[in-house]
Structures are given as C-alpha cells and as structure tokens.
Structure 1
Amino acid sequence: MSAGAGAGALRLLVVDDHPVVRDGLRGMLDAEAGFEVVGEAGDGVEALARVADLGPDVVLLDLRMPRMGGVEVLHALAGRTRRPPVLVLTTYDTDEDVSAALAAGATGYLLKDAPRTELVRAVRAAARGEAVLAPPVATRLLDRVRAPDRQAPGALSGRELEVLRLVASGCTNREAARRLGVSEATVKTHLVHAYAKLGVGDRAAAVAVAYERGLIAPGAR
C-alpha cells in the first residue's frame, strides 16, 4: 500500500503511453493522503482490461495513445454497468479534442502542465462526479457559447443531429457518411446547415454548442 493510502483511499488508474509520465503521476499521487494508484496502462486496450480487473474509483486518461485512443476508451466504457469517472489528462487543448472527450462522457479535462494542487482537487472532484475543466479550456468554451452570434434561430433536422452525434463521437466526414449510407458531400452539406442554425463556423464549435444546449448527450454515438 502506498504512503498516501489508507482506509477509504481513492483508488486510481493512470493511463498514458509514456512510462516517464506514468511514473511521475504515480509518485505524485501516491504521496497524496487519501490516494492510491492501483494500476497503470500504456494504451487504451490495456486500460479497458485494467478497469475491468481493478475497478478503480477514478481513471486518469491520456487522449492520444497507440492501439486505442482516449475518446475510444470513453465510448467503450459508456456501455459498461460500472463506469468509473474519467479525468482526461493531456497536452492537447484544441476545441475538437475537448468537445470529443466531453461528448464521449469524460468527467473532466485537465492539461498536463496543471499545478499539483489543481490536479489533486480535480481528481477528488471527479471522484464525486463533478465536472472539472482546466481554466483555459473552461474560459474558451464559455466564450464560444456566450457569443451573441451563437443564438441563430432554426431547429436542427433529425439527420443533422445524427451527423453531429457522429462528429462528437470522433468520426470523420467519411466515416459518418459510411455509417449513414450517404455520400461524404451529403454529410458536409448537413454540417454546413447545422453550423448556420447553431451560429458557428466549424465542427468543434458545433459540437460544443450542441452539447451545451442539450441537443446531444454525453456518450452519444
């Protein structure tokens, strides 16, 4: 048992394809009172197996890994009866990365350069099921959804919503077209119409606004 572990300690699983990062996180978290790192995984496939074997209270998950990435892991976990809270911990803060992770069901999104105190607070908040966002990520999302030109009228059609759900799940236009049995050009047309109705200019913003307005749910596929 780690130095910081004890009765009722939060059991953590660290998932990252870089051993040095895993070692650093283990050392930092194991030293924190009330935390115990019970396992590690170097890719998404291994992460799913470790979640099943260990039943962690919180998973710290990198986004871009070999074999299976973070968003794919989130989607796979969505179908499980017991799904632990997942705190994405990554170096990537693009709108598309953030939107895809949140739409897939991430409890929180933190950057790897976060101070230790911020990481500790985020892990504890995630364990309580509370949403956690890195300050720059939260600010940017709020700016996007509060912009006046985002209030363009018009309800999305059923097909436009279908396309947005697939985009939120990480599908490319080509993949969405294949799943829906339509041409890639048709998917692009639906996206353009959705952008106009939501008052946005790109797919990442469309997913963020649709998520904020409840048009698509976390984990929607």
Structure 2
Amino acid sequence: MFEVSENKTLTYNEFQRTTEPRWFEHKVLHDKPELEFVGAGTDDISFKILLRAELGINPEKQMAKIREFARKGKKALFIRGNKPISANYWVIKRAVEVHKVIDNQGNILTMEVDLNLMEYPRETEDETKKKTTSSVKKASTAKASKQLGTITITVKSVHIRSGPGVNNKVLGYAMKNDKLKVTGKKNGWYALGGGKYISANSAYSSFKGA
C-alpha cells in the first residue's frame, strides 16, 4: 500500500509499462517473413521503491511482505489515484533488493527495490459462466442462500468495503460489467455476503430482482 503522509512516505518512481502484442513469423524463402497477428500479449510494468527508516518505513518488514506476495503467487489490482491502472490483475515477476545503508547492529536503514510486475488477465465471461454452472451443480443438494437479486456494474470501478459506509475498509474493486449477487440492503448499501458491501447508488450499477 503506497502512502504519503506526515508519518510515512512509501511511493515509487521510474514507472515503465511495456505492451507487446503476439505475432507469429512465417519464414519466406528469399524474401522477408510474413507476419500473422496471434493476439494480445500480457503487459509488464517496472518501477523502483525506496524503503527508508527515516521516512517511517521498516525496510526489512516491508520487503518481507513483498517476498511473501511473490513466493505465494498472489495477484491483485494495481491502484493509483484510487483507481486501478488496468481491469486485469498483476503478479510479481521479479523483485531485486539492494541494501544501501546498514547500521552497526545489522539493521537495514535504506533499501532500494526494483519490482517487475506481469499482467494476470481476469477470467473471461465464458470462463466465469462455466465455473458458475459447475458451482451450481455441486450445490444443487445444498440449501440455497437468500438472494435479493443481482447487480451489474455500469462504471469503470466501484469500491467493495467491509461495511455499509465510506469509512469502512476497502476490500477490493468491482469492475465494469461484473455481475454480483446481492443478499441484502442496508443504509443505501448492498450486502454481497461474507462481510462485503457495495454502494447501492444507481449511478454505479443496475439492479435486477431475483
């Protein structure tokens, strides 16, 4: 989580994004090869993070979180200015740490981290339908959970929060055209189940009763 405040400064610089579509080369005797467009490729992004104790950051603890995220293959949206830079997720492809300043007790005071992230495409609508159908079949003998209806997100992204109010923690984002099951409504917020809530404002989504 990037943060710039009176107590902490954790941000990045030298941000670069690379887009490489996929092309197949058909070799032609005595002539230039013919190119065939195969499809979109996954984007890469890279940037540097400077972890400094004097800026309210514990470099070792912060780097431990980054290593865990990478080693467990976790994926997440990349948020900048309260909005994701892409509808797809991102995973850590490579993390290189340079220990710049170390005190006489062996504590790292300054660390520079080079991060390389790779785009992780979200499931297509067809894949989502297949999984949903499979889940319905498996749960056919189980008691159906209460459902008021379904909402379809109509804007680029909407916060999913831990409670019915803007002061609650952001747990994630719903993206445009996502369909979410609604189990209840409270104080102008839809309950999504599992302690997750999303605004019931019609400017963000359309509702269809069960």
Shorter-normalised TM range: under 0.3
Q: Report 1 or 2 for greater relative contact order, CA contacts < 8 Å, sequence distance ≥ 6.
A: 1
Which protein shows a greater Rg?
Answer: 2
Q: Which has the higher helix share?
A: 1
Bigger fraction of residues in strand: 2
Structure 2 length-normalised TM: 0.25
